[in-house]
Amino acid sequence: MRSFGIAIVTVCIAALATTAGCGGDSLGRQSIAGSVNVNGAPLEKGTVNFQPVDKGIPGAGKVSGGKFSIARKDGLPVGKYRVGINAPVPGTGSEAPAGAMPGEPLPPPQELIPEDWNTKSEHFVDVTTGKNEFNFDVKGKAK
């Protein structure tokens, strides 16, 4: 009878661990990785943003040397996302213009990426269960 009681307790603990998730992700996040090229060259520094189309949570990954990744713990749930890419033109937005008053806000950096890949993006990806690798080839503004 004692072994039967131990078996029931073991089954209950296993059931609780499964339903509680043991620190698992209730959103079903997926890791994301990929690359960003601008006019055929790797984007040195920037950000790839993912905005959910229907449901989900937004996410972003930093681009360095043309590559980006988002770990599963910070990843995106399965779904469709609008992609936006941002990268400042080097040397812009970090210095006050000549004649600026002390305390005036700095001007925003100039954008290296054309607006059809950021503020007016119509580029989408589908995040699925498993491997999610997205490679973006941006054409246009950057030289």
Q: What is the pLDDT of residues 12-58, one digit of tens each?
A: 454 444 444 455 668 899 999 999 999 999 999 999 999 999 988 99
Provide the 10 A C-beta neighbour count for residue 46. Answer: 23
Looking at residue 16, its pLDDT comes to 44
The pLDDT tens digits of the residues spanning 107-125 come to: 778 899 999 999 999 999 9
Question: What does the alpha-carbon distance between residue 44 and residue 38 come to, in Å, rounded to a whole number?
Answer: 9
Domain borders along the chain are 26-95+104-138
Residue 3 pLDDT level (bands cut at 50, 70, 90): low
Domain spanning 26-95+104-138: CATH 3.40.50.150: no
pLDDT of residue 27: 87
Find out whether 127 and 78 touch, Cβ atoms under 8 Å: yes
Query: For residue 96, what are the CA distances in angstroms to 20, 56, 90, 101, 110?
Result: 53, 39, 15, 9, 14
When comparing pLDDT for 61 and 110, which is higher? Answer: 61
CB 84 within 8 A of CB 48: yes
Instruction: Tell me the average pLDDT of the chain.
Output: 83
